[in-house]
Amino acid sequence: NAGVTQTPKFQVLKTGQSMTLQCAQDMNHEYMSWYRQDPGMGLRLIHYSVGAGITDQGEVPNGYNVSRSTTEDFPLRLLSAAPSQTSVYFCASSYSGTSGDLYEQYFGPGTRLTVT
Amino acid sequence: KNQVEQSPQSLIILEGKNCTLQCNYTVSPFSNLRWYKQDTGRGPVSLTIMTFSENTKSNGRYTATLDADTKQSSLHITASQLSDSASYICVVTTGASWGKLQFGAGTQVVVTP
C-alpha cells in the first residue's frame, strides 16, 4: 500500500491564483481530512469528510473548498490564494467511527505552499 | 487559547541520553491521548495512543505516561539516537468526532553526536 499520497510537494502561487492540492489513499478509509501546519502552532483542521459525498468544515475553512466524489480522493481547492494561506498542508485518513475508537490516523507527506 | 500545551518548546540532547517531554491539556471531555513523531519535511507518525484508564504505554524506546486526574502526559525517550531528532506532537481527543482533535504545537528535539 502507498498509504496517503499528496501532490504536489511544493507549490508557489501568486496572490489571487487558484489551485488544487491532491490527496489520495489506498487503505479504503472512510474518514479523510485536511490540516494546515504553521510555525509555533498545532495542526488545524480545515475540512473533513466521513465518506464519499459527505464533507464538513473544520476550524479554519475560509478560503478553501473540498469535495469527495470517491473513497480514495479528497482534493483541497484554494479559491483565490492569499499570503495568509502560506503554510504546510497535510492530508490524513482513518477508518470511520470516532477518534475515541482508537483507530490510527495516517498522514500524508505534506504540501508546502507559498503565496507571494 | 490552545487547550494542549507542550513543553519545552525545543531541546538539545546528547546521543545516548534520556529526555522527557511534557504535555498538559484542558480538553474536556477526554477520550484518548496520542503522541506523534514528525520528522522534518514529513507527516506525523503515531507513536502511542492511551485511553484515560491507561497510565503508561511503550513503543520501543518511547514510553508515554498519562495522569488523567491532573491532565498531564509525558513522553520519555530512552537512550536517544540521532534518528530521534524530530518534532513530537501531543494530541488529545474528545472521542466525539475526528474533527475534535486538539493538537499541541510540538516539542522540537535535536539529538547531537
| Summary mean pLDDT of chain A | 92
Lowest mean pLDDT among B18-32, B80-94, B95-109: B95-109
Choose among B2, B4, B32: nearest Cβ to A100: B32
- The 3-state secondary structure of B11-36 reads EEEECCCCEEEEEEECCCCCCEEEEE
- Report, as an integer, the average pLDDT of A45-62: 93
Contacts of A43 in chain B (CB under 8 A): 44, 89, 103
Q: How far apart are CA B89 and CA B47, in angstroms?
A: 10
Choose among B89, B93, B105: nearest Cβ to A99: B93
Q: Is the confidence at residue A98, as pLDDT, over 70? A: no
3-state SS, residue B83: helix
Cell of A31: 474518514
Contacts of A41 in chain B (CB under 8 A): 2, 105
Give B17→chain A minimum CA distance, Å.
Answer: 26
Inter-chain CB proximity B41 and A105 less than 8 Å: no
> Would you state the pLDDT for residue A102?
67
- Indicate the burial class of A77 (C-beta count within 10 angstroms; 0-12, 13-18, 19 or more): middle
Other beta carbons within 10 angstroms of residue A102's beta carbon come to: 15
| Summary mean pLDDT of chain B | 92
- Report, as an integer, the average pLDDT of A59-86: 96
Q: How far apart are CA B73 and CA A62, in angstroms?
A: 33
B13 beta partners: B111
Q: Is the confidence at residue A75, as pLDDT, over 70? A: yes
